[in-house]
Amino acid sequence: MSKQAKAETKKSKSSTKSYDFDAIIIGTGPGGEGAAMNLAKRDKRVAIIERYHHVGGGCTHWGTIPSKALRQSVSRLIEYNSNPLFNAGQNAKQLTFQDILSHASAVIRKQVNLRSGFYNRNQVEHYYGEASFVDANTIEVLRTDGTIDTITAKQIVIATGSRPYHPDDVDFSHPRVYDSDSILSLEHSPRQIIIYGAGVIGSEYACIFRGLGVKVDLINTRDRLLSFLDDEMSDSLSYHLWNNGVVIRHGEQIERVETNEDSVIVHLESGKKMRADCLLFANGRTGNTADLKLENAGLKADGRGQLKVSDSYQTDVEGIFAVGDVIGYPSLASAAFDQGRICASAMLDGDGKAKLTVDIPTGIYTIPEISSVGKTEQELTEAKIPYEVGRAQFKHLARAQISNNLVGSLKILFHRESKEILGIHCFGENAAEIIHIGQAIMQQKNGGNTIEYFVETTFNYPTMAEAFRVAALNGLNRLF
């Protein structure tokens, strides 16, 4: 037999190789779910692997869902205590962190039941245990009882998410030192907490604990809060936290953490030190790849545990894809689900034409919340794009006055000549909800994206969405 005939025979055998599944998805967070559902609905044999005993991933059990449920409870508590109609002449109602955790637990249960139903209805096979690669098509699943399942698939998706970063010199086993996952097991009621890291997670928990009456020291390693935001939004959050009693220390780094039986003392490189009942370390996250034995599949993660992928989310190894936090930016649950969906299309069709929307909205669930889509003023100024600004302050809206949510504003950035909307930034209650109105208009093609839409359409009255009309009129009145 000639060399060419042998090669063709070998290729034919490899293409008809029998696998247990068409696809294996490692991880059941938004990215894994998006991929699994789209593959299953195209009649593919799909297996999911989850190391926790319930589906949902970090998003459902430790991240997005519990923190937002906690935030909602605290926000309603603040609203109750600040409304004289409900609290006239009474002492302010007090709740502990443990009190509001019960609501978060109920939401998690509902989410798990819902997501389990998705997999069951679509006949996706479940494996619970720790996954690791044997080779590029073979996965071992180590169950909690010590038994091992070995399964194979033509294609594999890594959707293992991320975990809080743990520096070696901080003792996370100490009962007064927490990360953003373990804080959900907080059993005492602290009077004062130090939060190290003023990113999205740190800022959200600063609002939650301050809303419960806990003294909060927020240590920011940078020179401003959430520096990726439009400066006005960042400044608004800083002022609101300061006005509510949060002490923010910018440009600081931890030198060491001293733990005692009844307190934690944080020593900063600047020479400052502070003491509190507990420490929440929320400075960075790491991709969950350390236990996957990636080398067996010919893969290697970077120093942050993340994987490099192509536009269609394929890794350096053909047939192995990755989505969600494990690939880094934008590290949003909403984007991860879409990445999973787009990844599934590439796995099925091989074209990779589908792409994430350019204007991904950002929702930050501080109190009040922040949401943005598109460019910031700083980006537009740097790019020398002639833009104008339209603003609406919530305190002028009838709906905000009715609901007593007067803090906040909506800002629309638009091109002076074409009137194309370039960015929308909102600070205030329901910001993450109403931002989608602006996002929808920004997606319109062929001249449909202009600020004039908000003037020419009719909004329900009274609503918070009316802020778009007010901001549009304010901006158009600036043109000359």
Which residues does the annotation place in the binding site for NAD(+)?
197-204, 284
Contact present, 312 and 352 (Cβ < 8 Å): yes
Q: With left for phi above 0 and alpha for psi between -120 and 50, is residue 380 left, alpha or beta?
A: alpha
Q: What would the two tokens of residue 309 be?
A: 């992928």
- Cα distance from N-terminal residue to C-terminal residue, the chain: 82
103 in helix, strand or coil? helix
Alpha helix (H) ranges present in 16-63? 30-40, 57-61
Q: What would the two tokens of residue 468 be?
A: 């778009």
Q: Which of 427, 428, 419 is CA-nearest to residue 472?
A: 419
229 in helix, strand or coil? coil
Residues in the annotated binding site for FAD: 50-59, 68, 160-162, 325
Residue 138 has phi, psi (to 5 degrees) of -125, 135
What's the CA gap between 407 and 337, in Å, rounded?
32
What's the CA gap between 222 and 213, in Å, rounded?
26
CA atoms within 13 A on the CB side of 256: 2
Strands (E), 159-305: 162-164, 177-179, 192-196, 215-219, 247-249, 254-259, 264-268, 273-276, 278-281, 285-287
What are the Cα distances from residue 192, in Å, to 189, 272, 417? 9, 17, 52
Contact present, 287 and 162 (Cβ < 8 Å): yes
Residues near 430 by beta carbon (within 8 Å), at least 6 away in sequence: 369, 405, 464
130 in helix, strand or coil? strand
Residues in the annotated binding site: 50-59, 68, 160-162, 197-204, 284, 325
